[in-house]
Structure 1
């Protein structure tokens, strides 16, 4: 089970990252060009939110099933080893923060009536979420 979940988590991450980059660029472009917020923009923001939440659920299952996840926190030396600490604590924590940022951004943008504030909320929170994701991806294991 562990290897299957790890495979899904790793390959779903490519889709998540691609969609997040596209949604962030779209929201920044919409904000700076003052374009009208449309159905395509809403669908892209929602699809990004959904893929991020699915990745979070897969990641939580992996964290509980993995020997590098929750069980590693109780082992001696995990916090002194940077790779172990990243997999057991830093990666899950910062990814949860990224999902929260994207969720807050999506929720706040829905409350706006005009296009520019909608794009502004999405641009701010999706950009912060993207930075968090890019900062904590375990690149050595992922590529």
Structure 2
């Protein structure tokens, strides 16, 4: 079960990265166009994938926490610190930014501001995600 959840978490990572790039480019390219239904749907799919991978990641974190030896100090071990602190905190911050970026579509502001705010928040989230991904993990699920 844990292997399947890890593969799902890994697969959704790629979907999120692709959706982030699409959302960023779409919002920057359409900055002078009305904030259309496609922008809202792309943002919604991004947010759904981000929240899904957050839930799967928290479940995986719980499994790892239960199996953690009791004499380990998480903060002094760089590998454990990354798994239990840096990765989850970075991803939670990125998902908060994605959610705020999606929420910009509902604000009563100009379409230009909606595009800029969404694109900028998605770009910051992308940078945080890229910094928080464990790049030593398999790139393709199941490998």
TM range (shorter): 0.7 to 0.9
CA positional deviation for 1:112: 3.1
CA positional deviation for 1:98: 0.5
Which residue matches 1:49?
Answer: 47
Q: TM-score, normalised by structure 1?
A: 0.86
- Displacement over 3 Å in runs of 4+: 69-75
1:123 to 119, 125, 129: 119
Distance 2:39 2:104 in 1: 15
**SS of the counterpart of 1:140?**
coil
Tell me if 1:8 matches 2:23: no
Unaligned runs of 5+ in 2: none
Distance 2:7 2:15 in 1: 13
CA positional deviation for 1:62: 0.9
Which residue matches 2:34?
Answer: 36
Which residue matches 1:24?
Answer: 24
1:52-85 alpha-carbon deviations (Å, 9 max, x no partner): 111111111111112xx46549542432222221
Describe the shift of the 1:108–1:41 C-alpha distance in structure 2 as closer, same or farther (beyond 3 A). closer
